[in-house]
Amino acid sequence: MVCIISCAALALLAPVAFAQDSQPAELPSAPSAVREQQNRPKTPPPPPPAAPSESAPAAQTDAAPSGPAQSAAKPEANAPDAAGKNSASPAAVSTDPADVKAPATPPPPPPKQAQGPEDDDSIITVRKRVDEVNVVFTVTDRHGHYVKDLKREDFRVVDDNQPAQEIRSFRRETDLPLQVGLLVDASNSVRDRFKFEQESAIEFMNQTIRPRYDQAFVIGFDVTPEVTQDFTDNTEALSHGVRALRPGGGTAMYDALYFACRDKLKDAPQTKTVRRAIILLSDGEDNQSHVSREEAIEMAERAEVIVYTISTNVSGMKGKGDKVLERIAEATGGRAFFPFQIRDVADAFAEIQDELRSQYAISYKPTNFKADGRYRSIEIVAQNHKNLHVRARRGYYAPAQ
């Protein structure tokens, strides 16, 4: 009996369940429909009624024009009507805080800081070039002995045939750092005494160059200059550079001197005042250079280099090359040595070493100086002292404007 009632109940419920299942199920949208749905602009909800405000129209008319990005975001708000006027009304303007932007207010100016002399427009800065010439020189007596105890008042400076306007400084220089270049003629003409000259040069370097204070380099030349040891304060390395020289070939002495002054000494880095010098060993006979003797001298003057020459001529007589060496030394404030005996070469190096530690330095302002690039002569006279000889460079080139 119970079974019959249950079956009857199931029979009555079956049509109801079938009716619910027979409703069409919701199918997933096609990809194109999904993209259309995603790309369709969302309709913003209608804005709430705008409260009456006197500032609303002013906010619209006084606001600064929006930039290109803002205009593209809401073209309908700024679209002109047929009459060319903006058709948006205050009620149509969005009041969403994210959309409504207050008129741009310029930021307050930064606080004014105290002005220094470089910021004050009322102060005029005057820059003046100081025209100052520095000269290193030596003084010897009639016997060739160095005089080392003279004072500023003992000298008179003539620049370009006019007395110097002012002597800025004067000092005895016995311990200045050195930048020395050793130029050794390695041509066939010096082969006979080459070994002895090498040993004399090595001895000079060992006695003159002080570690952590002086620096030197070695150049050998025949038809071309060759740096066998660059700037160093290591005397062992300098000795190795001298021994690496090998004689042979022609002679391009002027090229070697020009190269050493321009490429090695003229712009050599220095943190304090230094004395620049070149010791040139050669017979003075040049047959391969591209620059002239006077061009080589000019470059030495521009680099403010004193050139000491040691002749390798063993003939016992001054030749044409010796006169060239003399001219180079005198023009740059150096000295020419003619050791006709081999043993005298070492003495020449010793005298150069002594002279490098026995010099004066004077700084002065020329009269009627012009930055015209012209050559100006220098003459330093030991006044009130007879029989004293001053040796300095003959002149300099004024800077070009």
Token representation of residue 88: 């948006």
User: CA gyration radius for the chain?
Assistant: 47
Q: What is the per-residue pLDDT for 6?
A: 44
My answer on whether 168 and 181 are in the same domain is no
My answer on whether 217 and 298 are in the same domain is yes
Domain assignment present for residue 51? The answer is: no
My answer on whether 232 and 372 are in the same domain is no
Pick the residue with more confidence: 217 or 126? 217
My answer on whether 144 and 158 are in the same domain is yes
The pLDDT tens digits for 15-70 are 444 344 444 444 344 444 444 455 555 555 555 555 444 444 444 444 444 444 44
State how far the Cα of 2 lies from the Cα of 34, in Å rounded to an integer. 54
Domain assignment present for residue 111? The answer is: no
The pLDDT tens digits for 375-387 are 999 999 998 888 8
My answer on whether 234 and 276 are in the same domain is yes
Which of the listed residues 357, 375, 393 is the one where a domain comes to its end? 357
Residue-averaged pLDDT of the chain: 76
Which domain does 334 fall in, by range? Answer: 176-357
Indicate which CATH number applies to the domain containing 293: 3.40.50.410
My answer on whether 208 and 223 are in the same domain is yes
Cα torsion 299, 305, 306, 307: sign: negative
Q: Which residues pair with 173 in a beta bridge?
A: 359
Q: What is the per-residue pLDDT for 326?
A: 96
Q: Tokens 């030495």 sit at which residue?
A: 300
Domain assignment present for residue 260? The answer is: yes
Longest Cα separation, the chain: 161
E strands within 175-290? 178-185, 215-221, 225-232, 275-282
Token representation of residue 331: 């023009």
CA distances from 7 to 11, 14, 17, 41, 154 (A): 6, 11, 15, 56, 145
My answer on whether 193 and 310 are in the same domain is yes
Report the alpha-carbon angle 352-356-359, nearest 5: 125
**Number of domains within the chain:** 2
Q: What is the per-residue pLDDT for 302?
A: 92
State how far the Cα of 341 lies from the Cα of 324, in Å rounded to an integer. 20
Q: What is the per-residue pLDDT for 46?
A: 56
- Which amino acid, 213? Y
Domain assignment present for residue 253? The answer is: yes
Indicate which CATH number applies to the domain containing 371: 2.60.40
My answer on whether 155 and 247 are in the same domain is no
My answer on whether 256 and 141 are in the same domain is no
Domain assignment present for residue 170? The answer is: yes
Domain assignment present for residue 21? The answer is: no
CA distances from 347 to 144, 315, 343 (A): 14, 18, 7
The pLDDT tens digits for 160-194 are 999 999 999 999 887 788 999 999 998 876 677 78
- Contact by Cβ (8 Å): 276, 267: no
Q: Tokens 């060496």 sit at which residue?
A: 325
Token representation of residue 117: 């002399």
Give the orientation angle of helix 320-332 with respect to helix 293-302, to 10 degrees: 20
Which of the listed residues 357, 374, 389 is the one where a domain comes to its end? 357
The pLDDT tens digits for 229-252 are 999 999 999 999 999 998 878 899
Confidence of residue 109 (pLDDT cuts 50, 70, 90): low
Domain assignment present for residue 63? The answer is: no
Claim: this prediction has a pTM higher than 0.75: no
Confidence of residue 268 (pLDDT cuts 50, 70, 90): confident
State how far the Cα of 141 lies from the Cα of 146, in Å rounded to an integer. 7
Of 285, 302, 276, 291, the C-alpha closest to 250 is: 285
My answer on whether 162 and 260 are in the same domain is no
My answer on whether 169 and 208 are in the same domain is no
- Contact by Cβ (8 Å): 209, 237: no
Domain assignment present for residue 86? The answer is: no
My answer on whether 373 and 301 are in the same domain is no
